């Protein structure tokens, strides 16, 4: 059996294979509530044969949405909307369902990508973003509101409440979003965190609030359910001195801290906190970061970033560089990518019975069955 199609246990949850549908923002919610588009989008991906599907970044409060079109889980209306989505997905697929919980911080109140992505001022329907410090993303934008200690305590509780709602909804797992320049990453990176109190300055201090949030969520989340953390392994700002940027050695320390307080996987991405980042793109360009983290933790590590070919994914796992691979754009381009990967690597996938007759003649065992009766 290929490494890609070997099951993986995360506490009481068993993934049938190591392919994960990465959370993908769709910018199509209305006041935080998922819409029919999400049912169509995720319904298709739920039939992909992947080992786990993660619902897009979901905000713990309205001000934590990246754009006005981003999903939230912060009141009864947003919970009810997600309940309908979960019911629909459960009715068509056995795929394990996770949800990514986070807060956009100073990157909130942005326009949708097809609208330019710039900060939306309050006068145009936006809101004032918050952050660890009053440090703007760019010099031509107003600074975010710097969160006080009391506001940090209240916001941590919103993460807990979102966790409790996710459990009520029946999600199998949660991924905490600590990457891509959003709020938890903003605390971690000295580029965005200019605080002088117990949450700023040293690496230990900058990690403190994100770890408090994760620990509070772990306490609120059932012990048998897995909880993971997505991190950015570097700010891609090698022009700055080591102490003025977030980089892989820092990410490794943070991953180890998360492991100690109950993390079940680390999802390793990169970048997002600085518009001056210089990213070197290429196939699997973030895999070396996942490999570096994996060498220093004992929990599974997920690799992401321009992983597009089945044998490329297999090599990542077989080479010990990661334990899971997550695809986003590749699955949008080819929603049956896991089927094709199983055919190429002699694996099997879950597929709805309605599709059992679709496999080519040469791959009759692709769906784990060999006969299909018909009168």
Residues 6+ apart with CB under 8 A from 342: 5, 49, 348, 349, 366
CA distance 274 to 233: 14
CA distance 227 to 97: 12
From first CA to last CA, the distance across the chain in angstroms is 35
Neighbours of 278 (CB within 10 A): 11
Neighbours of 172 (CB within 10 A): 19
Neighbours of 196 (CB within 10 A): 9
Residue 264 near residue 11 (C-beta atoms within 8 A): yes
Active site members: 182
CA distance 152 to 183: 11
According to DSSP, the β-strands at 8-10 and 13-15 are: antiparallel
């Amino acid at each position: 059996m290929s490494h890609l199609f070997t099951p993986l246990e995360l506490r009481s949850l068993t993934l049938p294979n190591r392919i994960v549908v990465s959370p993908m923002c769709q910018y199509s919610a209305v006041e935080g509530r998922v819409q029919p588009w999400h049912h169509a989008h995720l319904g298709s991906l739920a039939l992909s044969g992947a080992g786990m599907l993660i619902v897009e970044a979901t905000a713990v409060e309205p001000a934590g949405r990246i754009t006005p079109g981003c999903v939230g889980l912060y009141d009864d209306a947003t919970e009810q909307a997600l309940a309908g989505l979960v019911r629909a997905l459960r009715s068509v697929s056995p795929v394990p369902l996770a949800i990514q919980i986070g807060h956009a911080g100073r990157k909130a109140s942005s326009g949708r990508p097809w609208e330019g992505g710039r900060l939306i001022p309050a006068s145009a329907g936006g809101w004032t973003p918050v952050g660890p410090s009053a440090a703007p993303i760019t010099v031509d934008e107003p600074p975010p509101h710097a969160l006080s200690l009391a506001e940090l305590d209240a916001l941590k509780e919103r993460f807990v409440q979102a966790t409790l709602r996710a459990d009520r909804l029946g999600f199998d797992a949660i991924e905490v979003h600590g990457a891509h320049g959003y709020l938890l990453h903003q605390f971690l990176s000295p580029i965005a965190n200019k605080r002088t109190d117990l949450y700023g300055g040293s690496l230990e201090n900058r990690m403190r609030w994100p770890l408090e949030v994760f620990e509070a969520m772990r306490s609120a989340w059932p012990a048998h359910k897995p909880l993971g953390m997505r991190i950015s392994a570097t700010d891609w700002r090698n022009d700055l001195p080591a102490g003025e940027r977030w980089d892989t050695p820092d990410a490794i320390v943070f991953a180890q801290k998360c492991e100690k307080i109950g993390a079940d996987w680390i999802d390793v991405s990169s970048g997002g906190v600085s518009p001056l980042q210089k990213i070197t793109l290429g196939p699997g360009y973030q895999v070396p970061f996942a490999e570096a983290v994996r060498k220093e933790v004992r929990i599974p590590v997920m690799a992401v970033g321009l992983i597009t070919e089945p044998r490329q994914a297999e090599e990542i796992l077989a080479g010990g560089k990661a334990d899971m691979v997550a695809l986003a754009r590749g699955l949008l381009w080819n929603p049956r990518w896991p089927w094709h990967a199983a055919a190429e690597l002699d694996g099997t996938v879950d597929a709805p019975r309605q599709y059992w007759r679709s496999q080519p003649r040469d791959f009759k065992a692709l769906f784990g069955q060999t006969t299909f009766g018909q009168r």
